[in-house]
Chain A
Amino acid sequence: MADTEVLVIGAGASGAALSWRLSDAGIKVICLEQGDWVKPADIPIDRPDWEIARMSWWSPNPNLRRLPEDYPVNDTDTPIKPLMFNGVGGSTIMWSCFNPRFHPDDFRVRSVDGVAEDWPLTYDELAPHYDLSDRMMGVSGIAGDPSVPIRTERPMPPLPIGPGTQTVIDAFNRLGWHWWPGDVARNSTEYDGRPACNNCGACEMGCPSGAKGSADVAYWPKALKQGVELRTGARVFEITTDKAGRATGALYYDRTGAVRRVTADAVVMASNGVGTPRLLLLSKSARFPDGLANSTGLVGKNLMHHPIAAVSGVFDRLFDHGTGGAGASMLSNEFYGTRPGHDFVRGYMLAGPRIQAPLATALGASGRSLAWGEGHHKQFEQLFGRFGSMIICCEDLPDETNTVTLDPALKDSDGIPAPKLTYTLDDNSKRMIRHGLDRSKEVWDAAGAIDTIERPLLAQAGFHLMGTARMGNDPKTSVVDRWGRAHDVPNLFIVDGSVFVTCAAVNPTPTIEALALRTADHMIASRS
């Protein structure tokens, strides 16, 4: 008899959502997480050097953070550096909590635009799971956006619009372009036992009050109450299989470095778009010589990010201090999806404006490096509080040459091979970025900015890791089926961003959670 019915690898958004849902149906779940709980006191957001922490030992980039539970990532062959967090709650600990959904056409880009592939499911199928995710995480926002399908009311009213955002909104109004308040997983009121946000403005460092909807506070307390066993400090290095080719559990290193085994009736990968292909590729055997679930050779291929560009608008007056949340307070779908006359397919979302604190400003977050020596202070005064950055979030298209592979030399602290990312921006993305830069400049001109600064590609923006074990109906061209079940291994499921067929032009977390909840419901239905 196995140790558990379901073994989940990873306690981030997808692993938490699925564990909660399964346990709510009485299914026994063990979850292995290589990191630990993040306690409020761990978050260096109340220290004078908080900005330095954010750029170094508390950075979302594991190669900068270098905590013992992190694994290194070889990122020399990608212009977009991978960001993630290893701990209970996963990368939602450091997410900006911006919570947009895919649009219906995002699930059928082959049918609509003749590129990439369609998803094997529709928006309507996922919509109830999106709603459930919203209720669990706690989302502030408002229904009525004319650019997206009719939606349920959000659990909480929208968060306020700051002075900088109001300036941008006025500009969008002048241009006649679409905008709408962003859906944000941050409490505008007390919600589900968690307090209202105190608007500190540094969501990406983690939230000591629990006002931000991260998986550690939104799902895990409930999941644990329902009996899920969560083992932290458990670094999985192999998914085990039997002679019949079924998953049997996992091997992991515990905190002491001892090898432990968990057996399970089913295994669920929830380790993000880099960690999951890494583990599958590590799990080689005589039956699976190229790695688990990899008969197609597609595990680790089709890595997608959202290429992010930005244009800063500089004003000759105070624009905004940024004394509010980090998540985008408004978005525009004006250039979302394929549009006539564009020299690229698909499209991008505009969001923002992002505001920067003093040190980030001094170190060039506007896109403009400040001089040292004479003139430094004058340049600082001309920028700090006087600029905002419009974010251009581009839809990436899958490309088999963009990959996660195992690095032949780099290893983590337990000696497990580290992942290597290889990624090139394609011409479609480059043209899309150029368009977004030009349109953003129009926004700033309409807003009355005296200067603009382009940032054609943000390097430290690789939070969205998608596509490396994609979903599909055809076992020859996909890794998992429409329920996240591996074609090659009938009791192995994948629920993180790896399964994305395409990536839309929005932040992926609500879609990842909705997919995980949907897979959980399928597993529950299959069991009964």
Chain B
Amino acid sequence: MGRTDPLISALLSSLLPGDGDWPSAAATGLPAWFGRRIDASPALAEAVGWLRIALPADFAIRAPSLRQVDLKGCEAADPARFAIVVTEAVSGYYIDPAVLGVVEAKTGFPARPPQPMGHRLEPFDLSILEGRKRPASDR
């Protein structure tokens, strides 16, 4: 399973292909993570098992454009089951350090969890309330 499974790598790369600075899913830690999730999640295992049957036998070596067509056919056939696979793939992709590094480079959002560092807590700017406060004589 995972990185050594051509179908999974092809599937993930089709769902989340590389684009400019964004790495293809297959070039991240996602295939290995996804493999562990298949082992841990019966719903995902069932959905991937369904895809293995539904997709053409040569899916892993087909042209990317054809893979897209194959996957859209599966999505149309069973949107809920297909969504399980997409949600898991996207989840694994956006916790990958390489991907979060791209997010940080493009947006400045730090590629780290909220804690322990947090973010600077600036003081409140009282001037934004000028003219809005109830008059002191009424308070």
A323 touches B119 (CB 8 A): yes
A385 touches B113 (CB 8 A): no
Q: How many residues of chain B get a CB closer than 8 Å to chain A's CBs?
A: 45
A142 within 8 A of B: yes
CA distance A358 to B108 in the complex (A): 12
A121 within 8 A of B: no
Indicate the member of A46, A197, A205 with the most B CB atoms within 10 Å.
A46
A201 within 8 A of B: yes
Q: A52-B95, A373-B71, A377-B20 are in contact. Are A198 and B124 (CB under 8 A)?
A: no
A468 within 8 A of B: no
Residues of the A chain whose Cβ atoms lie less than 8 Å from the Cβ of B134: 143-146, 150
Within B69-103, which residues are at the interface with A (CB < 8 Å)? 71, 86-87, 89-91, 93-95, 97, 100, 103
Decide if the interface of chain A is mainly helix, strand, loop or mixed: loop
B90 touches A159 (CB 8 A): no
B107 touches A144 (CB 8 A): no
Q: A49-B95, A373-B14, A373-B17 are in contact. Are A201 and B113 (CB under 8 A)?
A: no
A324 within 8 A of B: yes
B109's partner among A47, A146, A202, A358 (CB-CB below 8 A) is A358
Q: A158-B124, A372-B86, A377-B22 are in contact. Are A200 and B109 (CB under 8 A)?
A: no
CA distance A163 to B22 in the complex (A): 27
Indicate the member of B93, B108, B113, B129 with the most A CB atoms within 10 Å.
B113
A180 within 8 A of B: yes
Q: How many residues of chain A get a CB closer than 8 Å to chain B's CBs?
A: 56
Nearest CB of chain B from residue A314's CB, rounded to whole Å: 14
B116 touches A372 (CB 8 A): no
B118 touches A199 (CB 8 A): yes
A188 touches B124 (CB 8 A): yes
Q: A150-B134, A196-B121, A201-B119 are in contact. Are A363 and B114 (CB under 8 A)?
A: no
Nearest CB of chain A from residue B86's CB, rounded to whole Å: 5
Nearest CB of chain A from residue B122's CB, rounded to whole Å: 4
A318 within 8 A of B: yes
A321's partner among B94, B108, B123, B132 (CB-CB below 8 A) is B108
A198 touches B121 (CB 8 A): yes
A160 within 8 A of B: yes
A124 within 8 A of B: no
CA distance A128 to B1 in the complex (A): 62
CA distance A166 to B113 in the complex (A): 25
Nearest CB of chain A from residue B128's CB, rounded to whole Å: 7
List of 3 A-B pairs having minimum Cβ-Cβ separation, nearest first: A198-B118, A200-B114, A144-B133
A-B contact pairs, 13 of them (CB 8 A): A45-B113, A150-B134, A179-B132, A198-B121, A199-B118, A200-B114, A200-B119, A209-B115, A323-B109, A372-B89, A373-B16, A374-B68, A385-B109
